[in-house]
Structure 1
């Protein structure tokens, strides 16, 4: 009887989420508060992307090193830059891939923190509503995945953007099927996303602003630049003094500095299958790191400083970078 009740409850939740997701109206982005707990007010964050392969392609090795570094840092939460489940997302909320690629892999004590996730293009090939469903959060309380949303951590606000619907090629190709529920009509959806992100960035009073999406803005890797985002999203980021754009998609670790603003482009897409072997030429004054392999990224954020560190699959530091910002309160 209990199993039947749970099944009915699950079905009701999925129906509600399906209805909400297909209503395409402009609205304020959903906001979550995740304030610092350390005495000095700092935040420590891990960033992983392109990972969900049942532990294969060194996913388990990367997870092990994340656990070690997470313990050293006393990490506050984890960001996933999308392509959470390969190759074709989740079949439904009961898909064992969720447990086999997430719950059973990221088992370290330090990783039993909130995970904030965006969707990638591979996630859109499955049942998108399953990944967005609270049923998964009931199965593993760490899981939170939405299309576009905000995490307010006081000194920093993190703006998550659903980037897959921006790319024309996913709507034109016939090789794969994508779950566009909640996205169509596409023009209206994209217009709403851009307006909501722009408004939220303008209203933000946080010292630091980070934007997280799956797709690259700029990349020397296999996928390269995402021109639709360069044309539509980048001007909003530059106009609103965003500090970091964080993405996955290219299965590498990468740091590119903007020559037009303080904006840094950080790729953390080395959660599992990597080593593409094709790297495009880039201005060495802008390219601070390109590592064609597996690993993850760590962020340390204080009132005055951001520290970025990239780790490879062996837990070795391969690149670090810092920047400072002093507010009126510090003068």
Structure 2
């Protein structure tokens, strides 16, 4: 008989999902001419002591230095926050061992907008929502939610739509990593979220519209494209003129953009290691891969990215554990 893996209680999910509207209309005013933030994915340490990896620790260090330099206002954490099996409850010491005591720089004490990845759902994903009430910086008010920022000097608005791709697509196989997600555990919960995603994108009047999830739409690496997202999310991103989709899951850095589309797909899943796989290179649209960083000379390698948004442009920079900029892309405003 196959071993069972803990799954979140559907009742708990329904409870937390029922609260998301309370967070759907918040607007954060930002002084100055730009919104500056960090993105990190698949950073969640390891299940055994010391509960963090060398690569994660190095990334945390250079992130802190860069966050101070650019005056970062927050961090996006795009899932797989706690390897291998998430957390047990809201008091799990992994919150300290893998998060609070690793990302210690003063510049990283600002809000972390978090979403769950597949490894987080191997444990108690609801505990990560509940931890919002215990931590001064961890923020996951529901499994999916939205936040709007306003640059007061120019009255430019930037809207982030944080989605839960595990609810939409299901869990990936813990051992057979080449297999796609298994399909949603609850079709009702998936349908509810799809309806919310389209409604939120349709109603957005933001100058910049950004979506963030764990699974990639397009990827050339080990996991490759997520069929459910290619089929159902990609058309929405195109239809509602989304500028960028940030994700993780594959442990590398990628920038993918299809011809004739405004949507830029950024994979930022190298928060604690780099994977060299390119086994799905033929599964993305021809000519769409603009950049990839996935060659690792050490198990302690890793990478993250910064984003700066102004009234005119959005600049995405990727950095390695040496603090070196390895890629930059400037996106024009399309909304």
CA spacing shift, 1:97–1:258, aligned 2, 3 Å: same
The 5-angstrom pairing of residues 197-212 of structure 1 reads 197-212=197-212
Q: 1:152 aligns with which of 138, 142, 148?
A: 148
2:308 is the counterpart of 1:311 = no
CA distance in 2, matches of 1:197, 1:248: 19
Which consecutive residues of structure 1, in runs of 5 or more, have no partner in the other structure? Answer: 1-16, 177-182
Indicate the larger mover: 246-255 or 318-327: 318-327
Q: Secondary structure at the match of 1:35?
A: strand
Q: CA deviation at 1:34?
A: 5.3
The aligned residue for residue 289 of structure 2 is 287
Q: Which residue of structure 1 aligns with residue 112 of structure 2?
A: 115
Q: Deviation digits for residues 11-67 of structure 1, max 9, x if unmatched?
A: xxxxxx985633577975832635343322x10010001011133141000000100
Q: Measure the CA separation in 2 of the matches of 1:221 and 1:184.
A: 23
Q: What's 1:93 paired with? A: 90
Contact 1:270–1:296, Cα closer than 8 Å, also in 2: yes
Equivalent residue of 2:30, what SS?
coil
Aligned position for 1:238: 238
1:141 aligns with 2:136: yes
8 Å CA contact 2:255–2:291 kept in 1: the answer is yes
The equivalent residue for 2:40 is 48
Q: For each residue in 1:124-148, what CA deviation from the matched residue of structure 2 results, as whole angstroms up to 9, or x when unmatched?
A: 0001111111xx2344210012311
Instruction: Specify the alignment match of 2:270 in structure 1.
Output: 270
1:253-268 maps to which residues of 2 (within 5 A)?
Answer: 253-268=253-268
Moved more, 153-162 or 20-29: 20-29
- Using structure 1 for the length normalisation, give the TM-score: 0.83
Structure 2 Cα separation of the partners of residues 26 and 237 of structure 1: 25
Alignment partner, residue 82 of structure 1: 79
TM-score by length of 2: 0.82
Secondary structure at the aligned position of 1:150 is classed as strand
**Equivalent pair of 1:27/1:196 in contact (CA under 8 Å):** no
Maintained 8 Å contact 1:26/1:196:
no
- The alpha-carbon distance between structure 1 residues 277 and 127, as it changes in their structure 2 partners (threshold 3 A), is same
Count of aligned pairs between the two proteins: 300
Contact kept, 8 Å, 2:43 with 2:271, in 1: the verdict is yes
Greater mean alpha carbon deviation, residues 285-294 or residues 155-164 = 285-294
Shift of 1:174: 8.9
Q: Pick the aligned partner of 2:59 from 42, 62, 65.
A: 62
For residues 162 and 275 of structure 1, the distance between their equivalents in structure 2, rounded to whole angstroms, comes to 23
Deviation string for 1:292-330 (max 9, x for gaps)?
152001110112210110111111101101122277xxx
RMSD: 2.6
Q: How far is 1:168 from its partner? A: 5.1
Matched residue, 1:325: 333
Query: Is residue 184–residue 190 contact of structure 2 (8 Å, CA) maintained in 1?
Result: no
- Unpaired runs of 5+ in structure 2? 1-8, 46-50, 151-156, 177-182, 297-301
Distance 2:286 2:174 in 1: 38
Cα deviations by residue, 1:83-116 (Å, 9 ceiling, x for unpaired): 0000000011121111000000000011010000
Map of 1:35 onto structure 2 = 28
**Contact 1:91/1:127 (8 A) holds in 2:** yes
